[in-house]
Structure 1
């Protein structure tokens, strides 16, 4: 007997699950907002911006964009990805070194670690490569950590760009950078874009796109169902995925071949869709 997901996919004529919560570049959907965001990412890299800043709500698709970007980078960039880095400046530098695959002995003093870091950057540059440090969930970095990152960019001199920083985080990151005491850091930000939620027509296209990538040959969601999904999720991709997946489960359980508005409403009424921060929206659409 096949697994539940095999049966689920077979019932709807799908090759794979269309609404997984895990970021997957294969399902990349190019909404206007995502195109603008990706353009700013490319702009920051091509212009060798010291710091590029991308912000957006939780689940807006920032990590998926990052993963897509990582697929396209050439051999002239050495990339280090740092997620949820915390701690003092010494710990931050160790996070950076480990992300780049370089030694980061806990017993080594900060000054020596920084000297090693600078030497490695110069060595990479001599071999025709720049170093790109990507900080995901960068809203968790405190002021001293951000100031340390600004100091990292001082390693660059004149036209020699050894290091670029890409900071990706929730809207709080933008608020931190715009504080009066962060002026010096803000002046190093050469490219910035805020990834907003999708509007209702975009949500409909988003749902159709993911279904098509997963192998669907028909429109599995009615327009009314998609409209209710938008209302309940606010157009946040991760929440859209979660609610769509639950709606497909409910439709499968009821032996229905399409998801209608009543199916989505039943998911909401049963309280199985938590949809972080959207409870008020759910009450309003009932």
Structure 2
């Protein structure tokens, strides 16, 4: 956070309370985040062919994913693929790269597929299970999702050699519900849609992060938090961004707690994109 030293001295923080990058160490376990995490964990431990987690931008999906990866067992081989796009051949390149397999450029689809299949069988023989996690999976074309579904058919007897976890924005769920992807949908054995927080949860969330950073939890006034909720509609990443702006501004005048006026001033200067405009920009 720019000017964090000033913020820390005014509010007495040991660490930044409102981080924009995922931090699994300070997760706020709202009921919906607990349900989302348990869905991920269930999909992983039950060997679900496909586990699906969706939610709006900034709802906390990637943070939960990072937490899940911290807890993975030693017999799991995890491949993380982010922002994948392109043809089915390119999709296999992304997958093999995520599994630390280097392929010569220009390799045919057959070569890519055989390389992946051989790798899965090798790990299976050694008692290891392979899990591929696709973050921002809404970017995968419907043909790519069908290709992923076919990869889950690689098996050894009754044992599946590959699990998929798809994490993305709500449109991913819409895509999977298309009639032509009904076979993909049938392979989804665990799924959850992570919604935004309500007013009370937003207040608890902000207080939680303030205390986790070494504060008292009361560094932002109640009426200011009410306006923060209105502007962000309970989306964690937007809350963090707006709280950052407000605390930096408040620190310049040693204002503690952050007042409603300060939040109003931040909203008025055009630097923060409120939820309604954030949604419009996303769909434009």
Q: TM-score normalized by structure 2?
A: 0.95
SS at match of 1:128: coil
String of CA shifts for 1:171-201, please: whole Å, max 9, x gaps: 0000000011110110000011000000000
Q: Which residue of 2 aligns with 1:261?
A: 260
8 Å Cα contact 1:232/1:278 also seen in 2: no
Separation in 1 of the partners of 2:156 and 2:143? 23
Deviations 1:65-117 (A, max 9, x none): 11111111011110000011111111100100000101222232110111111
Instruction: After TM superposition, list the pairs within 5 Å mapping 1:95-114 onto structure 2.
Output: 95-114=94-113
Aligned-CA RMSD value: 1.6
Which consecutive unaligned segments of at least 5 residues does structure 1 have?
282-286
Is 1:192 the equivalent of 2:191? yes
* 3-state SS, counterpart of residue 80 of structure 1: strand
Asked if residue 22 in structure 1 is aligned to residue 29 in structure 2, the reply is no
2:231/2:275 contact within 8 Å kept: no
> 1:234·1:278 contact (CA, 8 Å) conserved in 2?
no
The 5 Å alignment of 1:160-199 reads 160-199=159-198
How far apart are 1:39 and its partner, in Å? 0.7
Q: How many residues align?
A: 279
- What TM-score do you get using the length of structure 1 for normalisation? 0.94
Which residue in 2 is equivalent to 1:244? 243
Following superposition, the deviation at residue 217 of structure 1 comes to 2.6
Aligned 8 A contact 2:3 2:248 in 1? no
**Native 8 Å contact 2:51 2:166 kept in 1:** yes
1:124–1:131 Cα contact (<8 Å) kept: yes
Could you tell me how far 1:279 is from its partner in structure 2? Answer: 7.2
Contact 1:178 1:186 in 2 (8 A): yes
Determine helix, strand or coil for the equivalent of 1:154.
Answer: coil
Indicate if the aligned counterparts of 2:227 and 2:263 stay in contact, CA closer than 8 A. Answer: yes
Question: Is contact 2:20–2:241 with CA below 8 Å preserved after alignment?
Answer: yes
SS of alignment partner, residue 277 of structure 1: helix
